[in-house]
Chain A
Amino acid sequence: MASSSKTITVVSSDGDEFEMTMKAAEQSKLITHMLDEFGVSDKVPLYNVNSETMAKVMEYCKKHADHEAAKEEDGGAAIGAGGEEELKKWDDEFLKVENGLLFNIILAANYLEIKSLLDSSCQAVADMIKGKTPEQIREIFNIKNDFTPEEEAKLRSENEWAFQED
């Protein structure tokens, strides 16, 4: 298929240009829609995504596009039963980055409408939060507590019913 060998160029907020194949671009609903509007010859501006994040997103789209292509060939024989698990492992490793970048990946996946990336990156953060106290959450994500003591006390008492031990 001729279209799969074409590439498009996207531009990050830092002005850097990134090339991606059509198949990789199809991972993003937003890019797909923009291509329909602007056509392939133009550069697609993605001013909400900086270069560092863009590089990671490109990596993800390429990996998943390659995986899909391999599935289509051979009717899935090339991937085999372990293939999906392997991809999941790759995704898990891929998301092992420091929190600032992880959060930017989430925002980018949301903006670019890459559902699978949004799902796995959000789940990664959800897993970090599970069962943690507010203090622990602040520590993990380096968040300042700017509640005044009065505000915090009020909130705690209002929500005491939720935290009560049984």
Chain B
Amino acid sequence: MAILNTLLFYRTGKDITGQVFRSHNLGKSPSFFFHWLLLPTPPILHSASQHFYSKVGMEEIAETEDFTWSRETVPRVLLLVSSRLSQGDLFSLLLVNPWIYRTLVSASSLWEVLNFRERKNAGNRLIAALSLPRYRNVKQINLEFAQDVDDTHLTILKTKCSDSLKGLDSLNLNGCQKISDEGVEAVTSCCPQLKTFSIYWNVRLTDAGLRHLVKNCKGIVHLNISGCKNISDQSLEFIADNYSELESLNLTRCVKLTDSGLKQLLQKCLSLQSLNLYALSSFTDKVYKKMSLLVHLKLLDLCGAQNLSDEGLSSISKCKNLITLNLTWCVRVTDEGVISVARSCTSIESLSLFGITGVTDKSLETLSKSGSNKITTLDVNGCIGIKNRSREKLLQLFPNLKCFKVHS
């Protein structure tokens, strides 16, 4: 009877009464052993069986404890802990035991991001990763400054891993300078749901690449083509015609762009909240005046806009929701323009007037009166027209000022 009981116990984790020895009874609770001792033993074999019992039974109990600990308790707890672990630590956990492996692999939220930032051999690694079922719901891929990624890798992804990319939401190819229009076509053809696409500092990208993007990914909301010097107005047309929901756009140093292309954009991408035109000096007031169409604009970077006049800036000031405005080196601007911004953009928190010699203390006084407690960043370095611009004086005007430098 006792032996039968012990065997049952070993096989099922339950004794003859059907009571399950649960994970929390890890031999620490005295009632656990007491219960075991109460199991009936045949009187004749009493002493012998007790000896046998105590040897075999203890091992069985230890086995069951192990079983529950390794196969139930630990995986359950590690699942709860998993969201706090780095990918590297998660990989180590996968190799600990099959139960942890299974539990973690089925938690799809753990496997939504593939980050190869600055890693070597990134193209091959990405292909290897996407061949694993646990990444079939990947949402974000980061290859920023990754090495050894080129068009051939992206083409392989298209042939072998397109299923896994179906749900991709965000793709970062910043600094992947070996990728060209062909690679962009290949990878974007696999991710129709893409919302965020970033490929800065890539001089191989041309308007053809943008054409592929707008054809394949209809729902882009955040686009960064900063430093893609070969992009022309044609790309802005593609963007304008296809991305009416676009919220942020970075065109830093895309020096081929002209008024004509930007105008199209301003007329059609009315959801824009962030527009970066850093180091684009060929635009003129003609197009700056259209900026007022962007009623939702919160961030505008016009660093280097040497043609921007007070008239243009007055139009821009109609974007009442502006929070960040960079007017570094906008050398034609004077008090008139800045005062129109001060009066109209009452939510401004960050402003750079770096290098603008035509602004005076009058601008700062007006700014201070209209919204002084909101401003936390103000750069007036090189503004030789402003007499009172020591730190102390600035803090008097803008008590919440924390940062005195925007342009480096």
Interface centre among B70, B100, B120, B129 (most CB of A within 10 A): B70
Instruction: Let me know if B73 and A103 touch, CB within 8 A.
Output: yes
Q: Which of B84-92, B159-167, B397-405 contacts A (4 or more CB under 8 A)?
A: B84-92
Cα distance A145–B94 in the bound complex, in angstroms: 11
Kindly state whether residue A81 has any CB partner on chain B within 8 Å. Answer: no
List residues of chain A with CB within 8 A of the CB of B121. 164
Instruction: Let me know if B125 and A143 touch, CB within 8 A.
Output: no
Cα distance A147–B76 in the bound complex, in angstroms: 18
Cα distance A30–B339 in the bound complex, in angstroms: 57
Q: Which of B26-34, B51-59, B199-207 contacts A (4 or more CB under 8 A)?
A: B26-34
Q: Which of A2-10, A72-80, A118-126 contacts B (4 or more CB under 8 A)?
A: A118-126
Question: A147 and B28 in contact (CB under 8 A), knowing A161-B124, A161-B128?
Answer: no
Instruction: Let me know if A126 and B25 touch, CB within 8 A.
Output: no
List residues of chain A with CB within 8 A of the CB of B129. 161-162
Of the residues A13, A104, A147, A164, contact of B97 by C-beta under 8 Å: A147
8 A Cβ contacts from B144-200 to A? none
Instruction: Let me know if B84 and A122 touch, CB within 8 A.
Output: yes
Instruction: Let me know if B85 and A158 touch, CB within 8 A.
Output: no
Instruction: Let me know if A122 and B94 touch, CB within 8 A.
Output: no
List residues of chain A with CB within 8 A of the CB of B81. 106, 122, 125-126, 129
Of the residues B29, B85, B86, B88, contact of A14 by C-beta under 8 Å: B29
List residues of chain B with CB within 8 A of the CB of A142. 69
**Taking CB as reference atom, which chain A residue is nearest B147?**
A166
Instruction: Let me know if A50 and B25 touch, CB within 8 A.
Output: yes
List residues of chain B with CB within 8 A of the CB of A129. 81, 85, 89, 92-93
Interface centre among B89, B92, B98 (most CB of A within 10 A): B92
Kindly state whether residue A141 has any CB partner on chain B within 8 Å. Answer: yes
**Taking CB as reference atom, which chain B residue is nearest A134?**
B95
Contact pattern, B 93-122, Cβ under 8 Å of A = 1, otherwise 0? 111111111000000000000000001110
**Taking CB as reference atom, which chain A residue is nearest B95?**
A134
8 A Cβ contacts from A142-166 to B? 142-147, 151-152, 155-156, 158-164, 166
List residues of chain B with CB within 8 A of the CB of A14. 29, 31
Instruction: Let me know if A162 and B96 touch, CB within 8 A.
Output: no
List residues of chain B with CB within 8 A of the CB of A100. 26, 28, 69
Instruction: Let me know if A143 and B97 touch, CB within 8 A.
Output: yes
Kindly state whether residue A53 has any CB partner on chain B within 8 Å. Answer: yes
List residues of chain A with CB within 8 A of the CB of B78. 125
List residues of chain B with CB within 8 A of the CB of A104. 24, 73
Interface centre among A50, A130, A131, A152 (most CB of B within 10 A): A50
Instruction: Let me know if A110 and B97 touch, CB within 8 A.
Output: no
Instruction: Let me know if A152 and B31 touch, CB within 8 A.
Output: no
Kindly state whether residue A20 has any CB partner on chain B within 8 Å. Answer: no
Interface size class of B (residues with CB under 8 A): 35 or more
- What is the size, in residues, of chain A's interface with B at 8 Å between Cβ atoms? 46
Instruction: Let me know if B120 and A103 touch, CB within 8 A.
Output: no
Question: A50 and B29 in contact (CB under 8 A), knowing A118-B80, A160-B128, A162-B129?
Answer: yes
> Do most interface residues of chain A lie in helix, strand or loop, or is the interface mixed?
helix
Instruction: Let me know if A159 and B73 touch, CB within 8 A.
Output: no
List residues of chain B with CB within 8 A of the CB of A50. 24-25, 29
**Taking CB as reference atom, which chain A residue is nearest B31?**
A14
Question: A126 and B85 in contact (CB under 8 A), knowing A107-B77, A134-B93?
Answer: yes
Instruction: Let me know if A144 and B97 touch, CB within 8 A.
Output: yes
List residues of chain B with CB within 8 A of the CB of A155. 94-95, 101
Cα distance A51–B85 in the bound complex, in angstroms: 30
Kindly state whether residue A133 has any CB partner on chain B within 8 Å. Answer: yes
**Taking CB as reference atom, which chain B residue is nearest A102?**
B77
Kindly state whether residue A132 has any CB partner on chain B within 8 Å. Answer: yes
List residues of chain A with CB within 8 A of the CB of B44. none
Kindly state whether residue A52 has any CB partner on chain B within 8 Å. Answer: yes
Cα distance A118–B29 in the bound complex, in angstroms: 23
A118 to chain B, nearest CB (A): 7
Contact pattern, B 323-349, Cβ under 8 Å of A = 1, otherwise 0? 000000000000000000000000000
Contact pattern, B 233-257, Cβ under 8 Å of A = 1, otherwise 0? 0000000000000000000000000
Cα distance A159–B132 in the bound complex, in angstroms: 9
Q: Mind listing 23 A-B residue pairs with CB under 8 Å?
A: A50-B29, A52-B29, A53-B24, A101-B28, A107-B80, A122-B81, A123-B84, A126-B89, A129-B92, A129-B93, A131-B88, A134-B92, A137-B92, A137-B96, A138-B96, A142-B69, A143-B96, A147-B97, A155-B94, A158-B128, A159-B94, A162-B125, A166-B119
18 further A-B contacts with Cβ under 8 Å, apart from A126-B89, A143-B74, are A50-B29, A103-B74, A106-B77, A107-B80, A118-B80, A122-B81, A126-B84, A129-B85, A132-B92, A134-B96, A137-B92, A143-B69, A147-B95, A147-B98, A159-B94, A160-B128, A161-B124, A162-B129
* Interface residues, chain B, with chain A CB atoms under 8 Å away: 22, 24-26, 28-29, 31, 66, 69-70, 73-74, 76-78, 80-81, 84-89, 91-101, 119-121, 124-125, 128-129, 132
